[in-house]
Chains A and B, each alone.
Chain A
């Protein structure tokens, strides 16, 4: 991009070819694991154990997926994952931008104080055990709300949105006020629509975070099966298979099982289901992800 108008020398061209090749290699390294997982998820489970299924399914089957959604356990986990993601995203975007709006109002007297009150929480973390006891006091342990309440506001998101709001012209809110709009109406009908790009970014962060999280299930909700999420179900499968691959005799597992799913094939199928939403939305929303990073760099 830097100097395409200049004539190129031979070493320059060699470098270009080399560079293109290296980048191709990089893309293969990034994509092959996914491709391989997709292939394994569509390959017959027993056949996969024999190995070297890498680029294309050898014995094509939908059975791994059919089996996945035959048990209620995973369908339920899927819905918990979806619902927590949607709820957390909606609430977090709304409350974070509301807070950001309050902090961006120049006429709010406690603005400075409240900013410090919020930003301090990004540095001072109480740690796992006090957090656990706090949730226990609040009755959130083994409760669906443990997925929702702690995710309803993000201080970092507030700062990012506020930085964006500070860039909006002051006169917009003023003229709306003169026209008789209340604060809440100004926020909902004037400010929020203008903040769409940054809100999209924050929504993506929250959604990806909620969809990907498993640790809260593990710590705060693991004794209720109905609260399990897709990621947590995967984690359980994963840890069993790591122990297997680290300790057990590898060849024994292959012959003893007569049924047609194996931990390997189930895991491949769940991996595909769990990463599909992200891989699917990613190409369309990529610009929001990246602009968000740049916005985050602007400290308020």
Chain B
């Protein structure tokens, strides 16, 4: 029974690997024998200012996403833990997880609606408050694009990301809180000296694991919210591959870019796993 499964996995996951030779060729569709060019495509890539720019965009956007989703998720977990009414807590949790299950299409649609210069809610509110006079074209502002992406991530994923921290906090012994209370520690002191140290190791390990994904800033948000005006800051490596490969037919260059991303990611992920494991063991000892 395992034979068909192995064949299936081979066809869908291993067979495409042979396409990676395209990165070392000057691939032209339809030709029987492809011209072998060795590392030339990688040379072109790293001299290409567009490629260096998409690497910068990718790293900056994933760092921003990482920092903000961590901060907000931890904050939410702590505040949820401090809620004394269980039903209310449950309700807030349910509501905050919900956006995680909606597609980026829907979420970017909502973001675009809100930021729209044509009676978008944000613009209307700012005008009514007298902060701005004319509607701002938020999505056409290169300086703001990364922040809009980071904010969209926060909106969609904060609730979901907080689950793991909340689980860790729930695991902290209540005796610690009681003892601290008897010793006269107030709410903030208890959060600072018990809750935060209690989740520290989880935070560190998750942070390291997530650093492994730094070259994968995703492409859905950037692709969906991006437009010609902000393309210099919105394009990630994935979009570069998509544009060069599928739209422009520059298959070899796109494959090389994708391969670079995969190789770096594998290296980062295995080292992140290794470090996280080491830290995890130290924690146990």
- Interfacial residues, chain A to chain B (CB-CB below 8 A): 1-4, 6, 9, 11-12, 15-16, 19-20, 22-23, 26-27, 29-31, 33-34, 36-37, 40, 49-52, 54, 95, 98-99, 102, 108, 110, 114, 117-118, 121, 123-134, 138, 149-150, 152-153, 155, 183-184, 208, 211-215, 219, 231, 234-235, 238-239, 241-247, 250-251, 253, 264, 267-268, 271, 274-275, 278-279, 282-283, 286, 289-290, 293-294, 297
Residues B91-119 near A (CB distance < 8 A) = 91-92, 94-99, 101-106, 108-110, 112-119
Q: Which residues of A contact B181 (CB under 8 A)?
A: 3, 6
Known: A231-B103, A243-B227, A294-B167. A23 touches B83 (CB 8 A): yes
Q: Which residues of B contact A282 (CB under 8 A)?
A: 94, 98, 101
| Segment among B42-50, B54-62, B257-265 that sits at the interface with chain A | B257-265
Q: Which residues of A contact B22 (CB under 8 A)?
A: 129-130, 133
Q: A2-B82, A27-B92 are in contact. List 11 more A-B contacts (CB 8 A).
A: A30-B99, A99-B5, A121-B9, A121-B14, A127-B261, A128-B254, A149-B12, A155-B9, A234-B106, A246-B140, A286-B94
Q: Which residues of A contact B79 (CB under 8 A)?
A: 19, 22-23
13 sampled A-B residue pairs with Cβ under 8 A: A1-B84, A19-B82, A98-B1, A114-B6, A118-B9, A130-B18, A130-B20, A133-B19, A212-B104, A213-B103, A234-B105, A271-B106, A286-B97
User: B224's contact among A2, A50, A238, A245, by CB below 8 Å, is which?
Assistant: A238
User: A1's contact among B76, B89, B113, by CB below 8 Å, is which?
Assistant: B89
Q: Is there contact, CB below 8 Å, between B245 and A30?
A: no
Q: Is there contact, CB below 8 Å, between B5 and A153?
A: yes
Q: Which residues of A contact B270 (CB under 8 A)?
A: 123
Q: Is there contact, CB below 8 Å, between B124 and A278?
A: no
Distance in Å: Cβ of B178 to nearest Cβ of chain A: 7
- The chain B residue sitting closest to A50, CB to CB, is B119
Q: Is there contact, CB below 8 Å, between B262 and A129?
A: no
Distance in Å: Cβ of B204 to nearest Cβ of chain A: 16
Known: A23-B92, A99-B5, A132-B246. A125 touches B262 (CB 8 A): yes
User: Is B11 in contact with chain A by the CB < 8 A criterion?
Assistant: yes
Q: Is there contact, CB below 8 Å, between B112 and A242?
A: yes
Q: Is there contact, CB below 8 Å, between B102 and A250?
A: no
Known: A2-B177, A138-B11. A246 touches B139 (CB 8 A): yes
Q: How many residues of B contact A (CB 8 A)?
A: 95
Known: A1-B81, A19-B83, A245-B118. A278 touches B139 (CB 8 A): no
Distance in Å: Cβ of A209 to nearest Cβ of chain B: 9
User: Is B174 in contact with chain A by the CB < 8 A criterion?
Assistant: yes
User: Is B17 in contact with chain A by the CB < 8 A criterion?
Assistant: yes
Instruction: For the complex, give the distance between the alpha carbons of A242 and B229 in Å.
Output: 11
- The chain B residue sitting closest to A4, CB to CB, is B84
Instruction: For the complex, give the distance between the alpha carbons of A238 and B111 in Å.
Output: 11
- Interfacial residues, chain B to chain A (CB-CB below 8 A): 1-2, 5-6, 8-9, 11-20, 22, 76, 79-86, 88-89, 91-92, 94-99, 101-106, 108-110, 112-121, 124, 135, 137, 139-140, 155, 159-160, 163-164, 167, 174, 177-178, 181, 186-188, 220, 224-225, 227-230, 238, 241-242, 245-246, 251, 254-255, 258-259, 261-262, 266, 269-270
User: A235's contact among B105, B116, B269, by CB below 8 Å, is which?
Assistant: B105
Instruction: For the complex, give the distance between the alpha carbons of A213 and B102 in Å.
Output: 10
User: B117's contact among A3, A126, A250, by CB below 8 Å, is which?
Assistant: A250
Q: Is there contact, CB below 8 Å, between A20 and B83?
A: yes
Distance in Å: Cβ of A155 to nearest Cβ of chain B: 8
Q: Is there contact, CB below 8 Å, between A52 and B119?
A: yes
Q: Is there contact, CB below 8 Å, between B1 and A183?
A: yes
Known: A49-B119, A127-B259. A241 touches B96 (CB 8 A): no
Q: Which residues of A contact B103 (CB under 8 A)?
A: 211-214, 231, 274
List the 8 closest pairs (A to B, CB-CB), nearest first: A130-B19, A127-B258, A51-B119, A212-B103, A250-B118, A134-B16, A126-B16, A121-B13
